[in-house]
């Protein structure tokens, strides 16, 4: 369950320019809202079908979860499909590595 594990990264790095946008994969809006509330998620969540369609097409997303690190010039620096406990640590290391370049 990657979404709650991304919240601490968002809180820690948002003032340094990190943006997190999650694409909600379920069509059950009520369930998604309960999940967001339960886990106190504060970053951006796309839930409208048109927004999700555009993002999936633009970035070629075929599987969920898929994570991207995109630099300030909007270039995809990292693409990671799937999520396991501990991946957030690797993601933070990549954020730090990219932010020093």
Query: What is the rounded end-to-end Cα distance, in angstroms, of the chain?
Result: 30
Give yes or no for residue 67 having a pLDDT over 70.
Answer: yes
Whole-number percent of the chain with pLDDT over 70: 97
**Closest Cα to residue 70, out of 85, 86, 59?**
59
Take residue 87 and report the two structure tokens written for it.
């991946």
Length of the chain: 101
pLDDT on residue 42: 93
Residue 85 DSSP label:
T
CATH number assigned to the domain comprising residue 74:
3.40.30.10
For 60, the domain range is: 2-99
Pick the range with the lowest mean pLDDT from 11-15, 35-39, 75-79, 93-97: 75-79
- Average pLDDT, whole number, for the chain? 86
How many domains, in total, are found in the chain?
1
Helix (H, G, I), strand (E, B) or coil at 79: strand
User: Phi/psi class of residue 17: alpha, beta or left (left: φ > 0; alpha: ψ in -120 to 50)?
Assistant: left
CA–CA dist 36, 40 (Å, integer): 6
For 5-48, how does the pLDDT look when each residue is reduced to its tens digit (9 = 90+)? 999 999 999 998 888 888 877 778 888 889 999 999 998 887 77
């Amino acid at each position: 369950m990657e979404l709650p594990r991304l919240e601490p990264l968002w809180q820690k790095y948002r003032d340094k320019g990190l943006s997190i946008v999650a694409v909600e994969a379920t069509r059950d809006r009520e369930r998604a809202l309960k999940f967001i509330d339960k886990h106190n998620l504060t970053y951006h969540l796309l839930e409208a079908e048109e927004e999700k369609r555009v993002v999936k097409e633009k970035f070629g997303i075929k599987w969920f979860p898929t994570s991207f690190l995109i630099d300030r010039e909007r270039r995809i620096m990292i693409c990671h499909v799937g999520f396991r406990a501990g991946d957030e640590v690797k993601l933070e290391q990549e954020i730090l590595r990219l932010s020093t370049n």
